[in-house]
Structure 1
Amino acid sequence: MDKRIKWGIVALIGIGLIGLAIHTFVPRTNDELAEVEQQKPTTTKKNSLNVNAQIIKPHLLTDKLFVSGKLIPDEEVDLSFETSGKIVDIFFTEGTFVNKGQLLAKVNDRQLQAQLDRLEAQMPLAEDRVFRQNALLQRDAVSKEAYEQVKTELATLNADIENVKASIELTELRAPFDGVIGLRQVSTGAYASPSVVVAKLTRITPLKVEFAVPERYARQIRKGANLSFKVEGKLDAYQAQVYATESSIDPSTHTLNVRAIYPNKQGELLPGRYASIELSQNEIKDAIAIPSEAIVPEMGQNKVFVYRNGLAQPVDVEIGIRTEAEVQILRGLAIGDTILTTGTLQLRTGMPVILDNIN
């Protein structure tokens, strides 16, 4: 091969290598980097947090206490005889209303009735003896001791009659108060004694609402205080009034037992049900109160994030009473401040925020 051709090929190869080196090491535009640079403002926007806010306004704040309780009857008793004997009659129908003094059941009193008949048969003769002895005494025909003797015999006979009548009354079971009588526990022919329960008698008009409050509220619960309560399965709230409190704090639970009265005129509620009770305490005018979700507990302190110049800034606050949805702020916030109510766990000092909704 001609030397000139060889040198020409070598020259071409050398030129190619030089061109490749220049292409490799000369700086060129980075399209990906340029794209990132163009997106920088968007990234900064994404670092902002969308939140809801609320402007603090003064309003009436009612301190409410929520506790659980139960409905108990106004009066309730297990009915039983005061004497022993065979039940001969039952006069009530289970689950019906009975009046005070109504005869409900009776045990055998035949022997007592026979004693009563015998004693009452002696009364005319005993009274006649007293009458005749008194007439003789007026004429000094008998001694005063003889007159006093027959008079004492008459008084003893009367006492025996009253004693037998009292024993007969013990064989009768009567309603001690108006109420609804429950299920019968005995039958005619059964042997009754003071330990045998015949039925339960309950007065459900009115009803009592029994509950306990923490000891710190003990001084605030007064006779006449109004409350409302709800029971499961009922949408309506019922109104009751406190009529009595226990005389001391329960040392085991550190609570005060309280009872309220509910008329229950229609008998729509039955005793034994659980009740969710709401007690209204003090009313605070022009209070600063914020939603409880705006409070951020941190290291034993409470803080709230406020909106200032587009940034979230934490403020230490001192809280007062709590209601079902709000917390009273005693120190740290002022009327007109804008507090952040959502995203509180994600917020950091100075973080940019975008307000989606302001109440």
Structure 2
Amino acid sequence: MNGRFRCLALRLTSALCLLMLTCPLPLSAALADDPTPVIAARAELRQWSTPLEALGTLRADESVTLSATVTEIVSSVNFEDNARVKAGDLLIRLDDSEVQAELRAAQATRVERNNVLQRSAQLQARNLAPRADVEDNRARLQQIEAEIEAIRARLDDYHIKAPFDGMVGFRDISPGALVSPGMELVTLDKLDTMKLDFSVPAVHLSALQPGLSLAATTASYPESTFNGEVTSLGTRIDPVTRSIPVRASLSNTEQRLRPGMLMEVTLERQPRQALVLPEESLIASGNGQYVLAIDEANGHVVQRRPVTLGERRAGVVEITEGLQPGDLVVSHGVQQVREGDHVSVLGIDDDNIDVSELLRRSRAVPPKEDV
């Protein structure tokens, strides 16, 4: 029996050796050659600038407080709160009956003097009146015409009109009220375009110029950003704060902004085209940074490539050296791959991709097919 067992063991040992020589690689070794799934990002050129922050205050493009220039009773009020008005619209009419009477009397005098001039001219044409009478009558007619113009100018003081298109404020006056010179009657603001005034340290003067882009935000609309541009620079630098006043223009077609609002301003200095990457693509190495570039022409092999960084923004970073536009780098999965590894790209990380959803789907196990 012992001999038979020895023979059987020898045969099993030989079979195992033959199996080890002829069978394929183990599963773990086979999986080691499979490409590692990663999410990649392309180095792309974007409009870039160096930000400069400041605090500013909004002003209306045009703003005025209309007031009376005469002492008189209000005859009519032709607007309501926050009404939009056009240039020349009559807003408040003061009692002008006395001035209207003076105008009618002057107009009647003009008719009388014009008739006298016509009669004297006819007589002078037949040599029945001296030429001096004609000249005197013409001068009297011109005098009354000048008086009529003066009365009409006085009438404008009784008619409070809008000097430009805009929005009036609250109506705080009623018919029958007595107004006097200098009394404030109503405010009028042109809000389609807003002026934004702020100050910038004078050390940045060389980077400031009309036309420079900016973005402004306000606590009143925390989710909105209002874009504008610098329109003018102050002519003097404040000797105390060593800052220069700057004025910008913001579009306000939706009428959401109001004069007096506090705005947080970000000036876009030194506008340029910059090569940018998602910040998660970077790997720190001592005092430097590198990325894992993907060689698309050589089977998606990973190459370690040092890069030089410029400025950073929220989630992105400027690359000044080490990459070219269009280069593909690993953005998610940098800890799972090494230089020389082959990778498979699950997706390109950009503004349109949902990285968490893409990773979730990549981990999902496909359903088994029925046999």
Same fold (TM over 0.5): yes
Q: Is 1:238 the counterpart of 2:226 in the alignment? A: yes
Whole-angstrom CA distance in 1 between matches of 2:126 and 2:247: 71
Once the two structures are TM-superposed, the CA of residue 184 in structure 1 deviates from its matched residue by 2.1
Corresponding residue for residue 92 of structure 2: 105
From the superposition, tell whether residues 323 and 275 of structure 1 become closer, same or farther in structure 2 (CA, over 3 Å).
Answer: farther
1:75 to 32, 44, 62: 62
Q: Is 1:274 the counterpart of 2:262 in the alignment? A: yes
2:173 to 166, 170, 186: 186
Whole-angstrom CA distance in 1 between matches of 2:239 and 2:176: 49
Once the two structures are TM-superposed, the CA of residue 200 in structure 1 deviates from its matched residue by 0.8
List aligned pairs for 1:193-212, cutoff 5 A: 193-212=180-199
From the superposition, tell whether residues 84 and 324 of structure 1 become closer, same or farther in structure 2 (CA, over 3 Å).
Answer: farther
Once the two structures are TM-superposed, the CA of residue 75 in structure 1 deviates from its matched residue by 0.9
List aligned pairs for 1:285-324, cutoff 5 A: 306=287
Q: Which amino acid aligns with 1:119?
A: A
List aligned pairs for 1:158-169, cutoff 5 A: 158-169=145-156
> Which runs of no fewer than 5 residues in structure 1 stay unpaired?
1-56, 292-304, 308-320, 329-333, 337-355
Once the two structures are TM-superposed, the CA of residue 98 in structure 1 deviates from its matched residue by 0.8
Whether the 8 Å CA contact 1:71–1:273 is kept in 2: the answer is yes
Corresponding residue for residue 92 of structure 1: 79
CA displacement 1:203-260 (0-9 Å, x = unmatched): 1111112111110112221111111111113312121011111112122221111111
The secondary structure found in structure 2 opposite 1:198 is: strand
| TM norm structure 1 | 0.63
> Which runs of no fewer than 5 residues in structure 2 stay unpaired?
1-42, 280-285, 289-309, 324-334, 338-371
Corresponding residue for residue 243 of structure 2: 255
Whole-angstrom CA distance in 1 between matches of 2:231 and 2:49: 22
Whole-angstrom CA distance in 2 between matches of 1:324 and 1:67: 18
List aligned pairs for 1:135-154, cutoff 5 A: 135-154=122-141
2:214 to 224, 227, 230: 227
Q: Which amino acid aligns with 1:306?
A: N
Whether the 8 Å CA contact 1:213–1:256 is kept in 2: the answer is yes
Whole-angstrom CA distance in 2 between matches of 1:204 and 1:120: 42
Corresponding residue for residue 52 of structure 1: none
Whole-angstrom CA distance in 2 between matches of 1:203 and 1:134: 54
Whether the 8 Å CA contact 1:185–1:197 is kept in 2: the answer is no
- State percent identity of aligned pairs: 25
The secondary structure found in structure 2 opposite 1:241 is: strand
The secondary structure found in structure 2 opposite 1:235 is: strand
Q: Which amino acid aligns with 1:206?
A: T
From the superposition, tell whether residues 241 and 306 of structure 1 become closer, same or farther in structure 2 (CA, over 3 Å).
Answer: closer
Once the two structures are TM-superposed, the CA of residue 306 in structure 1 deviates from its matched residue by 3.3
| TM norm structure 2 | 0.61
1:134 to 101, 106, 121: 121
Whole-angstrom CA distance in 1 between matches of 2:312 and 2:52: 8
From the superposition, tell whether residues 143 and 274 of structure 1 become closer, same or farther in structure 2 (CA, over 3 Å).
Answer: same
Corresponding residue for residue 171 of structure 1: 158
Once the two structures are TM-superposed, the CA of residue 84 in structure 1 deviates from its matched residue by 1.8
Q: Which amino acid aligns with 1:265?
A: T
Once the two structures are TM-superposed, the CA of residue 335 in structure 1 deviates from its matched residue by 7.4
Once the two structures are TM-superposed, the CA of residue 82 in structure 1 deviates from its matched residue by 2.2
Whole-angstrom CA distance in 2 between matches of 1:285 and 1:306: 26
Corresponding residue for residue 345 of structure 1: none
* Greater Cα radius of gyration, structure 1 or 2: 1
Whether the 8 Å CA contact 1:225–1:242 is kept in 2: the answer is yes
Q: Which amino acid aligns with 1:191?
A: L
Where do 4+ consecutive residues of structure 1 move more than 6 Å?
Answer: 284-287, 321-328
Corresponding residue for residue 115 of structure 1: 102
Once the two structures are TM-superposed, the CA of residue 198 in structure 1 deviates from its matched residue by 0.6
List aligned pairs for 1:335-346, cutoff 5 A: none
Whether the 8 Å CA contact 1:94–1:181 is kept in 2: the answer is yes
